[in-house]
Amino acid sequence: GENVEQHPSTLSVQEGDSAVIKCTYSDSASNYFPWYKQELGKRPQLIIDIRSNVGEKKDQRIAVTLNKTAKHFSLHITETQPEDSAVYFCAASMGNTDKLIFGTGTRLQVFP
């Protein structure tokens, strides 16, 4: 069935270190993979996205990589800062309807 698994559920890093969050998806027809950041009590905000015809995309300290063969994609945050602390959600589009299936979230804590 339609499923997106996300790991880890919590991640604690020291300021300046890197953080990596991984997701796997089940639908081989998925072609769009966004990442959302949700701060406590706030709306999810799109931070980066990638389409299936691209293997990697970078935006300043944030990068996403996609392995279509293995059906997994990852979010990489370098030089983490306390303001990066939030819950991060990955998502994958389901090929036939384009609806997004979200992962269960990763709570990232960056300690000063």
Partner 1 sequence: DAGVTQSPTHLIKTRGQQVTLRCSPISGHKSVSWYQQVLGQGPQFIFQYYEKEERGRGNFPDRFSARQFPNYSSELNVNALLLGDSALYLCASSRTATNEKLFFGSGTQLSVL
Summarize as ranges the residues that interact with partner 1 (CB under 8 A): 4, 6, 32, 34, 36, 42-46, 49, 89, 91, 93, 97-105
Residue type for position 28 = S
Query: Of the two residues 34 and 77, which places its CB atom closer to partner 1 in the complex?
Result: 34
Of 51 and 58, which has the nearer Cβ to partner 1?
51
Least distance from C-beta 103 to partner 1, angstroms? 5
C-beta of 12 vs 104, nearer to partner 1:
104
| Contact between 49 and 61 (Cβ < 8 Å) | no
What is the smallest separation between the CB atom of 16 and partner 1, expressed in angstroms?
28
Instruction: Name the minimum Å distance from CB 24 to partner 1.
Output: 14
Instruction: Look up residue 96 and give its amino acid.
Output: N
Q: Give CA–CA dist 1/99, Å, rounded.
A: 14
What residues contact 19, with CB distance under 8 A and at least 6 apart? Answer: 11, 13, 75, 76, 77, 80, 84, 108, 110
Looking at beta carbons only, is 36 or 73 nearer to partner 1? 36
Name residue 59's amino acid.
Answer: D
